[in-house]
């Protein structure tokens, strides 16, 4: 599986501010995704990060709130904008490799607390 | 009906027993099925994937798929306390989106 890192691993932020989360993979991957896992819940897909074009957002998630960049095949960022306490969650990036099957592998996650 | 359904548990089994985790899905066109293990405070770890009807074995883990019944299961043989975690069933939809169940919490008692 690919080695995936995320920065920061955790953060505590004030209401109304923004946080950018970075996801770095050690090899080129075709697909990168961003998920949210709220406390005690399962994973919800926020968007697919498309290399060189705008991300594809799932229902209930919008670009103004969660802008995403993917400048190349190994790196992506997710920004959580104008944060409120409801944004407190774990944010995870995942990847599917360029070679291989359908499998998705997850990064270690970013634990965000908004006060 | 939820797209992917799992019993939330907790499922408690004694050490050495077989743990059986079940999952049903609604999208009949789904072709790829995954089991992730998530320890508390950690990210999900892929432990099994299955694409064809029948059984797939990997060590102590066996995934079973029945597309006609829209049912996928995970068996853990010789359960160990270290297997205590939440197990997430995930199904890839026809559109390519990975949809997760709510997860089943497994507790293996020594």
**Strand stretches in chain A, DSSP E:** 4-7, 10-13, 19-25, 29-37, 43-49, 56-57, 68-72, 75-80, 89-97, 104-106, 110-114
B32 close to B63: Cβ distance less than 8 angstroms: no
pLDDT tens across A18-53, in order? 999 999 999 888 889 999 999 889 999 999 998 888
Task: Locate the chain A residue with the closest alpha carbon to B89.
Answer: A42
pLDDT tens across B78-90, in order? 999 999 999 999 9
Give contacts of A109 with chain B, Cβ < 8 Å. 42-43
Give contacts of B88 with chain A, Cβ < 8 Å. 42-43
pLDDT tens across A64-97, in order? 999 999 999 999 999 999 999 999 999 999 998 7
Note whether B92 contacts A: Cβ–Cβ < 8 A: yes
Q: How far is A109 from chain B (nearest CA, A)?
A: 6
Contact B97 A58 (CB under 8 A): yes
Contact A102 B42 (CB under 8 A): no
Contact A108 B42 (CB under 8 A): yes
Tokens encoding B92: 């890839």
Contact B103 A45 (CB under 8 A): no
């Amino acid at each position: 599986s690919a080695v995936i890192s995320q920065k920061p691993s955790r953060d505590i932020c004030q209401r109304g501010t923004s946080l950018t989360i970075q996801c770095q993979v050690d090899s080129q991957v075709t697909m990168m995704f961003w998920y949210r896992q709220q406390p005690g819940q399962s994973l919800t897909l926020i968007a697919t990060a498309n290399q060189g074009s705008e991300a594809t957002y799932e229902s209930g998630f919008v670009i103004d709130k969660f802008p995403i960049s993917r400048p190349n095949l190994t790196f992506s960022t997710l920004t959580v904008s104008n944060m409120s306490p409801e944004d407190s969650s774990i944010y995870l990036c995942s990847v599917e490799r360029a070679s291989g099957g359908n499998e998705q592998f997850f990064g270690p996650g970013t634990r965000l607390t908004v006060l | 009906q939820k797209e992917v359904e799992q019993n939330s548990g907790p499922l408690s089994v004694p050490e050495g027993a077989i743990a059986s985790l079940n999952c049903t899905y609604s999208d009949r066109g789904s072709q790829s099925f995954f089991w992730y293990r998530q320890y508390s405070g950690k990210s999900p770890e892929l432990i099994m994937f299955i694409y064809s009807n029948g059984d797939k074995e990997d060590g102590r883990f066996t995934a079973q798929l029945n597309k006609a019944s829209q049912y996928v299961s995970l068996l853990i043989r010789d359960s160990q306390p270290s297997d205590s975690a939440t197990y997430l069933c995930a199904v890839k939809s026809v559109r390519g989106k990975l949809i997760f169940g709510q997860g089943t919490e497994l507790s293996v008692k020594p």
